[in-house]
């Protein structure tokens, strides 16, 4: 009996020691998650990330911290979860500090705040080939209309993103200047490859024009605005107005023009085959290699960029291919420190536009030290420059 009691006491001691070890490990995981969150906050304060992205990363890290520092009497299964949560927090923080290949949009952004907008029409189907083909219409709280239109095209490496994401926020600033804002979802590369994306954007523009009276919109004043992949599609919509090869009349409103009156391109990729060499010339290490089978651009085209099979697709997907004298005016911005899309893409595109349209029809600005969709683009001063351009072309 004495031996059995001693054995039981020993087992109890082991249990208490293991519980203490587990509790200590959990507390350490909580500290790790908290450190990750603080790291994100510090980097955001230094301006190394776009504000919306950093806020999302902080929220993820803080949520994980709360899970990791839960009641120490929880069972062994929650303890495993808390460890995973801390690891997730660290990963979230790291994701917030590194630009996503292809940039702009994706899962890191919080949705734009549209709570103050009185009149909005959400999830309006502009075509029926896919559940993705929907748009949101936001009207100014003041004014009688019909309102000129900003068509907002989200980014996300052609494979992610959403019309309601924080990328919409700068365009919503146009409401105060009397613009309606139409945010468009389009088929992503996981669902369909090029030219489905530009087919969708053109179908959305046709829908807006055909249904302008119903939504109090001005069918003769439509602009596009997009960043990254959205910038590429915005630019392509700008130079390829009414180009039959990029239209899909089965998506609706056949015969209605898809031409636009102004175009805003924020750091969009324009000619994929040149990107790797351009990064090398700039001395910038890119986030990823474009001429890789798994690059966003290769997945978008369905062929590996740089291969002979892809070259014709690269030309078809490039806004450079369709430049003509009747194109609208362009406003292009790009950061000098962009590691996702080389600034040379925008520089060459702007030069080509100026050659055909004239220097007064293509405005190019490089933002010194700015990365891919970083906070420099979102400042009130910079957004005002975009809106000033639209005012000059649309009013």
Low pLDDT (below 50) residues in the chain:
1-100, 102-108
Residue 187: per-residue pLDDT: 98
> In terms of DSSP bridges, do strands 329-335 and 262-266 run parallel, antiparallel, or are they unpaired?
parallel
- Is residue 305 assigned to a domain? yes
> Among the three residues 65, 97, 129, which one is the final residue of a domain in this structure?
97
205 and 74 housed in the same domain: no
Question: Could you give the count of Cα atoms lying within 13 Å of 315 in the half-sphere of its Cβ?
Answer: 7
Q: Point out the domain boundary residue: 34, 66, 97.
A: 97
102 within some domain: no
Are 35 and 139 contained in the same domain? no
- Domain end marker among 35, 66, 97: 97
> Cα–Cα distance between 228 and 205 in angstroms, integer?
19
Position 115 in a domain: no
Tell me: do 323 and 201 sit in the same domain: yes
Per-residue pLDDT, 79: 33
List the strands of the sheet with 180-184, edge to edge. Answer: 120-125, 134-138, 180-184, 147-153, 217-227, 262-266, 329-335, 362-367
Q: Identify the pLDDT of residue 101.
A: 52
Residues 322 and 260 in one domain: yes
CA within 13 Å, CB half, 77: 0
Check residue 236 and give its pLDDT: 99
User: Based on the domain organization, do 80 and 127 belong to the same domain?
Assistant: no
Q: Give the side-chain half-sphere CA count within 13 A for 390.
A: 29
227-241 b/e (C-beta count within 10 Å ≥ 16 → b): bbbbbbbbbbbbbbb
The answer to whether residue 287 sits within a structural domain is: yes
Angle at which helices 76-97 and 2-45 cross, to 10°: 20
pLDDT, residue 90, reads 32
**Residue 71 in domain:** yes
Residues 6 or more apart in contact with residue 357 via CB below 8 angstroms? 323, 325, 327, 329, 330
Total number of domains in the chain: 2
Is there a contact between 187 and 130 (Cβ–Cβ < 8 Å)? yes
329 close to 262: Cβ distance less than 8 angstroms = yes
C-alpha distance across the termini of the chain, in Å: 96
Task: Tell me how far apart the alpha carbons of residues 347 and 118 are, in angstroms, rounded to a whole number.
Answer: 40
Q: Is 112 among the domain residues?
A: no
Kindly state the DSSP code that residue 288 receives in the 8-state scheme.
S
pLDDT of residue 109: 67
Distance CA 263, CA 142 (A): 25
Going along the chain, which residue ranges are E strands? 120-125, 134-138, 147-153, 180-184, 217-227, 262-266, 329-335, 362-367
Rg (CA), the chain: 25
In a shared domain, residues 127 and 61: no
Q: Which domain holds residue 91?
A: 2-97
**Residues 71, 156 within the same domain:** no
- Whether 379 and 250 map to the same domain: the answer is yes
Dihedrals phi, psi of 220, to nearest 5 degrees: -100, 0
Examine the domain organization and report whether 58 and 145 are in the same domain: no
Cα–Cα distance list, 300 to 16, 233, 277 (Å) = 56, 12, 20
Are residue 171 and residue 264 in the same domain, yes or no? yes
CATH number at residue 225: 3.40.50.1820
Q: What is the pTM of this model?
A: 0.76
pLDDT for 394: 97
In the block, which residue shows the tokens 């007064």?
360
174 and 298 housed in the same domain: yes
Residue 362 domain-assigned (yes or no): yes
pLDDT at position 358, please?
98
Helical segments of 288-379, H only = 296-301, 308-316, 343-357, 375-378
* Phi and psi, residue 107, nearest 5°: -85, -5
Distance CA 140, CA 260 (A): 21
Are 175 and 63 found together in one domain? Answer: no
**pLDDT at residue 202 in the model:** 99
């Amino acid at each position: 009996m004495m031996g059995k009691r001693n054995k039981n006491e020993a087992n109890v001691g082991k249990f208490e020691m293991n519980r203490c070890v587990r509790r200590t490990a959990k507390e350490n995981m909580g500290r790790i998650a908290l450190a990750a969150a603080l790291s994100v906050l510090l980097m955001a304060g230094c301006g190394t990330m776009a504000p919306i992205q950093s806020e999302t990363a902080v929220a993820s890290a803080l949520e994980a911290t709360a899970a990791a520092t839960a009641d120490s009497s929880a069972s062994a299964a929650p303890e495993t979860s808390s460890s995973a949560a801390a690891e997730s927090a660290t990963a979230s923080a790291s994701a917030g500090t590194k630009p996503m290949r292809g940039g702009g949009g994706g899962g890191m952004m919080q949705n734009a705040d549209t709570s103050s907008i009185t009149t909005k029409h959400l999830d309006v189907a502009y075509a029926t080939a896919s559940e993705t083909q929907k748009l949101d219409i936001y009207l100014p709280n003041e004014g009688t209309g019909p309102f000129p239109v900003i068509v907002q095209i989200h980014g996300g490496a052609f494979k992610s993103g959403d019309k309601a994401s924080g990328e919409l926020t700068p365009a919503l600033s146009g409401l105060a200047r009397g613009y309606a804002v139409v945010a468009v979802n389009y088929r992503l590369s996981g669902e369909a490859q090029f030219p489905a994306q530009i087919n969708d954007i053109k179908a959305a523009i046709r829908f807006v024009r055909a249904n302008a009276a119903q939504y109090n919109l001005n069918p003769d004043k439509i602009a596009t605005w997009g960043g990254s992949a959205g910038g590429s599609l915005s630019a392509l919509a700008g130079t390829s107005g009414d180009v039959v090869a990029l239209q899909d009349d089965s998506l609706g409103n056949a015969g209605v023009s898809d031409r636009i009156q102004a175009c805003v391109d924020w750091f969009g990729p324009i000619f994929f085959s040149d990107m790797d060499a351009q990064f090398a010339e700039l001395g910038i290490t890119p986030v990823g290699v474009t001429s890789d089978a798994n690059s966003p651009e290769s997945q978008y085209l369905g062929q590996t960029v740089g291969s002979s099979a892809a070259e014709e697709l690269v030309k078809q997907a490039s806004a450079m291919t369709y430049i003509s004298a009747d194109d609208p005016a362009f406003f292009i911005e790009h950061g000098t420190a962009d590691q996702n899309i080389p600034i040379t893409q925008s520089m060459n595109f702007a030069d080509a536009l100026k050659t055909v349209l004239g220097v007064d029809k293509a405005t190019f600005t490089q933002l010194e030290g700015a990365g891919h969709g970083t906070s420099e683009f979102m400042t009130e001063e910079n957004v005002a420059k975009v809106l000033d351009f639209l005012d000059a072309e649309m009013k």
